[in-house]
């Protein structure tokens, strides 16, 4: 897409700190990092979200995420890596080109709020009904 910032990054029209590239995937440093090494993996082909991305691109991104996980552990000393991926403005997707965040973290750092929500037991009847709604369409 002509007005997509991530498509422009893939084409080299906007500079980025490239971490990895292959025929389907481009990975680069997030310039608003949550932690040292915060990286984005995107498909080269424009797709807005999980509903639009080609299955082969999705699989390629997750293969690369495994390599990135190992790289973050060995090169940065990360003790853990959070993978965060938002679909839609309701969950704060800002750039409307599919992207997977990889956020490395060390044990000595504070916990990421996105991975440390308070555990509150839910209503089992409501959980059952919701699970059945999902299962019915899968």
**Among all residues, which ones are annotated catalytic?**
99
| Region from 33-41, 46-54, 68-76, 121-129 binding Zn ion, contact rule CB under 5 A | 46-54
Among 4, 29, 58, 84, indicate the residue that binds Zn ion (CB under 5 A): 4
User: DSSP assignment, residue 60?
Assistant: H
| Phi–psi pair at 94, nearest 5 degrees | -100, -50
**Which residues within the stretch 11-30 sit at the binding site for Zn ion (CB under 5 A)?**
none
CB of 23 to Zn ion, least distance (A): 17
Tokens linked to 118: 């308070």
* Interface size with Zn ion, residues (CB under 5 A): 6
The answer to whether 57 and 25 are in contact (CB under 8 A) is yes
Site string for Zn ion, 79-118 (x = CB under 5 A): ------------------x---------------------
7 is an interface residue for Zn ion by CB under 5 A: yes
- Give the distance from CA 108 to its chain's centroid: 23
Measured CA to CA, the distance from residue 31 to residue 9 in angstroms comes to 13
**Residues sharing a CB contact under 8 Å with residue 16, sequence separation 6 or more, in sequence order:** 9, 28, 29
Number of residues that make up the chain: 138
Nearer to Zn ion, 16 or 76 (CB): 16
CB of 97 to Zn ion, least distance (A): 3
Residues that bind Zn ion (CB under 5 A): 1, 4, 6-7, 46, 97
């Amino acid at each position: 897409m002509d007005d997509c910032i991530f498509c422009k990054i893939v084409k080299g029209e906007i500079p980025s700190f490239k971490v990895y590239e292959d025929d389907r995937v481009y990975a680069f440093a997030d310039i608003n990092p949550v932690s040292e090494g915060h990286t984005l993996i995107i498909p080269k082909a424009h797709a807005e979200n999980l509903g639009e991305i080609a299955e082969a691109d999705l699989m390629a991104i997750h293969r690369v995420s495994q390599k990135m996980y190992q790289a973050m552990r060995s090169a940065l000393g990360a003790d853990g890596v959070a993978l965060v991926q938002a679909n839609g403005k309701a969950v704060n997707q800002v750039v409307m080109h599919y992207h997977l965040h990889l956020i490395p973290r060390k044990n000595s750092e504070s916990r990421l709020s996105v991975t440390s929500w308070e555990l509150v037991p839910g209503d089992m009847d409501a959980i059952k009904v919701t699970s059945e709604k999902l299962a019915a369409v899968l």
